[in-house]
Amino acid sequence: MAGQRTLFDKVWDEHVVHTPAKGLPLLYIDLHLVHEVTSPQAFDGLRSAGRPVRQPHRTVATVDHNIPTEPRGTPILDPIAALQIQALQKNCKEFGVPLFDMDSASQGIVHVIGPELGLTQPGMTIVCGDSHTSTHGALGSLAFGIGTSEVEHVLATQCLPQRKPKSMLINVSGRLGEGVTAKDLALGIIGQIGTDGATGHVIEYAGPAVRALSMEGRMTLCNMSIEAGARAGMIAPDETTFAYVKGRRFAPQDGEWQKAVEKWRSLTTDRGARYDKTVEIDGSKLAPFVTWGTNPGMVVPVDAAVPEMSDLATDADRRAAERMFEYMGLQPGTPIEEIAVDRVFIGSCTNSRLEDLRAAARVAKGYRVDPKVRAMVVPGSQAVKREAEQEGLHKIFQEAGFEWRESGCSMCLGMNPDILQPGERCASTSNRNFEGRQGRGGRTHLVSPMMAAAAAIAGHFTDIRDWKFL
Amino acid sequence: MKSFRIHKGKPAPLHRANVDTDQIIPKQFLKRIERTGFGEFLFHDWRRAKDGQHDHSFPLNHPRHAGASILVAGKNFGCGSSREHAVWALDDFGFRAVIAPSFADIFANNCVKNGLLTVVLSEEEVSEIVRRATEIEEYHLTVDLEQQKVHDGHGLSASFHIDEFTRHCLLNGLDAIGLTLQHEGDIAAYEARHPVPKAMRDFA
């Protein structure tokens, strides 16, 4: 019905600066996050056009993508990576953009530190030259990834001309079972709707299973919206959200806080508002998932097997699967629990927050990593690392034989030295199992932090629902 | 921005679905701080065997497709990472247009910003172009943005849709930032109503 609006409509409408008669609506951007890999060409563009950064105080930069996760202070051996980091330092200085640099106590993966510092708030528009910007939608903001030309556009104008995406409701009923996490929910959704199931849409996640997620779980879910092709993922803010934001460094303080919360309470979808598309998921039917192929839609429950050719619907699916089987070194019909792993990566903007590390540590406690497996834990930020260490999680990991490293994107995309060797198989808590993503010839299986920790110990995938916690 | 009106060139078929930007330009090449020089790394891990030699089974390496300037691909082309380097690599390699049944959103946006045209045709039309490009020697295709048509002089003619504003920008090679800055008054008025939050203002 007219007049009744979705959460997405409300945040969108609030930020439209101007709608030209011919052309696209101009959307105001509240917060622009910047990192070293997708920004140098944008700053160059500003320089050559003689343009300043319009709103340096709405712009925050950090280094995350290509930095080593060796102890800080270790020289960066890759000269091109070092140059890219220096370029960001120089650009931030020249244009007055605040930077959480290598040595900052607030450095971390851009999508971890945004919420953690309270920069990310309900109702905001947030962009970053990174597709996983969808993460921030967990707090009820409209957050999406952009390319470098658009980074330059936002730096110069604090606006983006945008066609309004369509809306999609994903309603998750029921309750997630024991051992089934936000990551499994995300993988289950992508498995159902496909990697282009939400292209052109902004997803709103709703329903009891979503409401029951912690703030960090919601970030994991929204993070993977892009893997279903979505422009963004959002969750209406509620008490969980407000409790999370309160008291953070950039959160509204004192008298401002109550006013902000009152405003944020209006950020819910009106009863009767319409979505362009609706998907129903029964949360109670989901299992811990493992991907078997080379896109995140190729998922099966851990207690199932890699599909048989005859399970696949079309010729195109079978052709694609053949490539995937070959690349992944898998036979059709192999039970997932029989697949041995060489490496385990716990980290990335999907699953590197404190709760993720707690969950993985709970599994690892009292066990040893299989001697054939090399396992690493990469906290999402320096703050996560400090908090985890205060709780003694690093000791649990180290005693079990996991490497405990410095914060960054690390082996999620392998731009730094943390990469797979050709043929190595990895249980990874990251978001993409594309060919070569973690290193040329590397074989990635996406799982939750608990499933990754269990695979490290067992030496193969194993059903976390049967785990004996010590 | 480069303009696009009509382009006639050789198509190269890459008939795979869900080609992600990690394939188009693998991460080890994202560390350059320029916009140029990415072409030689386009589809690197597919084009080159592990010893660095060209893999001749990969369509782009086939002599028939040498000098191709139109890429013909499967659905959901350009999914995954937002890296504009993927578009810079296609452009630097010499591609002026990509034809596919569908494109990922961020990739399509990035293309427009670089004057690379994305053309959405049906699965059947794409398959037919792939077949012709594979079978017919010296096969050429014309992509006409003015008429919103793709034709080959061998009886194939297909119309495509593109929104009017994007078409206008591409035809005229308009500077997107310049267009936005024409609305300076509106932006300033919006900013006056929505000041930077105090904590952010006080920082740094």
Contact between chains at A38 and B31 (C-beta distance less than 8 A): no
- Model pLDDT for residues B151-172, shown as the tens digit of each residue: 999 999 999 999 999 999 999 9
Please report, for residues A145, B78, B170, the alpha-carbon distance to residue B82 in angstroms, rounded to integers and kept in the order given: 6, 9, 21
A280 strand-pairing partners: A171
Chain A from 224 to 253: CB within 8 A of any B CB = 226, 229, 231, 249-253
Q: Is B115 on the interface with A (CB under 8 A)?
A: no
CA A227 to chain B, closest CA, distance in angstroms equals: 7
Contact between chains at B32 and A80 (C-beta distance less than 8 A): yes
DSSP string for B148-186: TEEE-SSS-EEE----HHHHHHHHHT--HHHHHHTTHHH
Residue A243, pLDDT > 50, answer yes
CA A279 to chain B, closest CA, distance in angstroms equals: 20
Instruction: List chain A residues with CB under 8 Å of B180.
Output: 26, 153, 156-157, 159, 161
Q: What is the pLDDT of residue A365?
A: 98
- Under 8 Å CB pairs connecting chains A and B tally to 191
- Model pLDDT for residues A392-421, shown as the tens digit of each residue: 999 999 999 999 999 999 999 999 999 999
Q: What is the mean pLDDT of residues B120-137?
A: 96
Q: Where are the alpha helices (DSSP H) in chain B?
A: 21-24, 44-47, 85-93, 105-113, 123-135, 164-172, 176-181, 184-193, 198-202
pLDDT level of residue A2 (50, 70, 90 thresholds): low
pLDDT level of residue A1 (50, 70, 90 thresholds): very low
Helices A393-400 and A382-390, interaxial angle, to 10°? 90
Residue A80 vs residue A302, higher pLDDT: A302
Q: Please provide the size of chain B in residues.
A: 204
Mean pLDDT, all residues of chain B: 95
Q: Tokens for A403?
A: 């490497």
Instruction: Note whether A153 and A43 are within 8 A (CB).
Output: no
Which DSSP state fits A430?
Answer: S
Residue A75, pLDDT > 70, answer yes
- Model pLDDT for residues A28-59, shown as the tens digit of each residue: 999 999 999 999 999 999 999 999 999 999 99
Long-range contacts of A304-309 (CB under 8 A, 24+ apart): A304/A335, A304/A336, A305/A333, A305/A334, A305/A335, A305/A336, A306/A330, A306/A331, A306/A332, A306/A333, A306/A334, A306/A335, A306/A336, A306/A339, A307/A332, A307/A333, A308/A332, A308/A333
State residue B98 phi and psi, 5-degree precision: -125, 130
Helix (H, G, I), strand (E, B) or coil at B134: helix
Q: Is B126 on the interface with A (CB under 8 A)?
A: no
Among chain B residues, the shortest Cα distance to A130 is held by: B82
Q: Is B180 on the interface with A (CB under 8 A)?
A: yes
- Model pLDDT for residues A253-312, shown as the tens digit of each residue: 999 999 999 999 999 999 999 999 999 999 999 999 999 999 999 999 999 999 999 988
- In a mutational test of the B interface, the residue from A148, A154, A256, A291 whose CB has the highest number of chain B CBs within 10 Å is A148
Of B20, B106, B177, nearest to A152 by CB-CB distance is B177
Chain B from 17 to 46: CB within 8 A of any A CB = 17-18, 20, 22-23, 26-28, 30-35, 45
Contact between chains at B76 and A98 (C-beta distance less than 8 A): no
Contacts of residue B163, Cβ cutoff 8 Å, sequence gap at least 6? A163
Torsion angle, CA of B80/B83/B86/B88, rounded to 10 degrees? 160
Contact between chains at A149 and B33 (C-beta distance less than 8 A): no
Give the number of other CB atoms < 10 A from CB of residue A230.
28
Contact between chains at B33 and A40 (C-beta distance less than 8 A): yes
Read off the pTM. Answer: 0.97
Q: Between β-strands B149-151 and B157-159, what pairing exists: parallel, antiparallel or unpaired?
A: antiparallel
Contact between chains at B165 and A23 (C-beta distance less than 8 A): yes
Residue B204, pLDDT > 70, answer no
Q: What is the pLDDT of residue A242?
A: 98
Taking 3-state DSSP, the helix, strand and coil percentages for chain A, each rounded to the nearest 5, stand at 40, 15, 45
pLDDT level of residue B51 (50, 70, 90 thresholds): confident
Q: Is B198 on the interface with A (CB under 8 A)?
A: yes
Instruction: List chain A residues with CB under 8 Å of B193.
Output: none
Q: What is the pLDDT of residue A21?
A: 87
Beta strands in A50-91 (DSSP E): 59-62
Among chain B residues, the shortest Cα distance to A40 is held by: B33
Of B28, B76, B180, nearest to A157 by CB-CB distance is B180
CA B21 to chain A, closest CA, distance in angstroms equals: 9
Sign of the dihedral defined by the CA atoms of residues B26, B30, B36, B40, in that order: negative
Among chain A residues, the shortest Cα distance to B17 is held by: A320
Q: Is B111 on the interface with A (CB under 8 A)?
A: no
Instruction: List chain A residues with CB under 8 Å of B176.
Output: 149, 153, 161
Contact between chains at B106 and A195 (C-beta distance less than 8 A): no
Instruction: List chain A residues with CB under 8 Å of B195.
Output: none
Contact between chains at B31 and A415 (C-beta distance less than 8 A): yes
Among chain A residues, the shortest Cα distance to B84 is held by: A147
Instruction: List chain A residues with CB under 8 Å of B113.
Output: 147, 149-150
Sheet containing B157-159: order of strands: B6-9, B141-144, B149-151, B157-159
Q: Between β-strands A343-346 and A425-428, what pairing exists: parallel, antiparallel or unpaired?
A: parallel
Helix (H, G, I), strand (E, B) or coil at A115: helix
Contact between chains at A156 and B177 (C-beta distance less than 8 A): yes
**Which candidate, A144, A140, A112, A114, places its Cα nearest to that of A128?**
A144
- Model pLDDT for residues A231-241, shown as the tens digit of each residue: 999 999 999 99
Give the least confident one: A378-382, B58-62, B124-128. B58-62
Give the number of other CB atoms < 10 A from CB of residue A99.
20
Chain B from 151 to 170: CB within 8 A of any A CB = 163-165, 168
Q: Is A324 on the interface with B (CB under 8 A)?
A: no
Instruction: List chain A residues with CB under 8 Å of B26.
Output: 436, 440
Of A22, A30, A415, nearest to B165 by CB-CB distance is A22
Among chain A residues, the shortest Cα distance to B1 is held by: A149
Among chain B residues, the shortest Cα distance to A327 is held by: B46
CA B138 to chain A, closest CA, distance in angstroms equals: 27
Instruction: List chain B residues with CB under 8 Å of A87.
Output: 33
Contact between chains at B203 and A57 (C-beta distance less than 8 A): yes
